[in-house]
Amino acid sequence: MERIGRIFACAVVIFVLGFFGTTTQIIAVPSAAQGQLQQEVPTIASTVERQISAVEKLIAEATDAMPEDKFNFSPANLNLSGSEYNGVRTFAVQVKHIGASNYFLWSPLTGDKLPNGLKDGNGPESVKTKAEIIKFLKDSFALGHKAAASLTADNMLQPVKGGKSPRLERAEFAVAHAYNHYGQMVEYLRMNGIVPPASRSKSD
């Protein structure tokens, strides 16, 4: 019994020393990492920025994946029996529509003027080639990043100039709208035998 008691006592000492040793290390961490933790605290701007970046990546990769000779494809080209695709946007116009909508929704937050030739949701008629469409899309998302950076806890619920919608609502609606049309782009890609980049495995 005495031997067992000594073993138990030693175990308690080891546990206590280990506990306080670990505790000392834990206490030391916050002082060294405090600045980093403060930098990682999310804000309204950083949260919206993250969402814009996520959908931008998906759409940019899907746009790049479609061959230029398929940019004028729409499901109407397939003449599917019983389908109702007449008049739907082509792949190119889907992408331009996302870019155009980005401008219409985000420009009131930043005060930027709309690009020349942008009159409706289908984008400028002068933007036709794959390279031109990709640039138009990229520039529209650049405006989105600028709009996100302008959001604060104080102004996010303020209406945009000349409108009634709160600034945060317009910023977020642009993201939701982009995801909607990304889903349509995915179907267009698959109708042409192309697996969307986001759905490909690492080995593809």
Q: Quote the CA–CA distance of 147 and 151 in Å, as a whole number.
A: 7
Answer yes or no: do 8 and 73 share one domain.
no
Residue at 183 is within a domain: yes
Answer yes or no: do 6 and 106 share one domain.
no
Answer yes or no: do 34 and 53 share one domain.
no
Domain housing 2: 1-41
Answer yes or no: do 92 and 7 share one domain.
no
166 SS3 class: strand
Answer yes or no: do 67 and 100 share one domain.
yes
Answer yes or no: do 57 and 153 share one domain.
yes
Answer yes or no: do 116 and 32 share one domain.
no
**What is the dihedral angle through the alpha carbons of 95, 96, 102, 107, rounded to the nearest 10 degrees?**
160
DSSP-assigned beta bridge partners for residue 166: 159
Q: Quote the CA–CA distance of 114 and 82 in Å, as a whole number.
A: 40
Q: Quote the CA–CA distance of 156 and 160 in Å, as a whole number.
A: 9
Answer yes or no: do 27 and 50 share one domain.
no
Relative orientation angle of helices 130-149 and 91-110, to the nearest 10 degrees = 30
- How many structural domains are present in the chain? 2
Residue at 182 is within a domain: yes
Chain centre distance of CA 47: 10
Answer yes or no: do 46 and 35 share one domain.
no
Q: What is the pLDDT of residue 22?
A: 41
Instruction: Please name which of 48, 62, 51, 78 lies closest in space to residue 156, comparing C-alpha atoms.
Output: 48
Residue at 204 is within a domain: no
Per-residue pLDDT of the chain (204 residues; tens, 9 = 90+): 444 444 444 443 333 334 334 443 444 445 555 555 556 789 999 999 999 999 999 999 999 999 999 999 999 999 888 888 989 999 999 999 999 999 999 999 999 999 999 999 999 999 999 999 999 999 999 999 999 999 999 999 999 987 889 999 999 999 999 999 999 999 999 999 999 999 987 645
Answer yes or no: do 112 and 67 share one domain.
yes
Residue at 115 is within a domain: yes
- 117: Cβ–Cβ under 8 A, 6 or more apart, which residues? 124, 125, 126, 127
Please state the pTM of the whole predicted model: 0.79
Q: Quote the CA–CA distance of 52 and 49 in Å, as a whole number.
A: 5
Residues 153, 168 contacting (CB under 8 angstroms): no
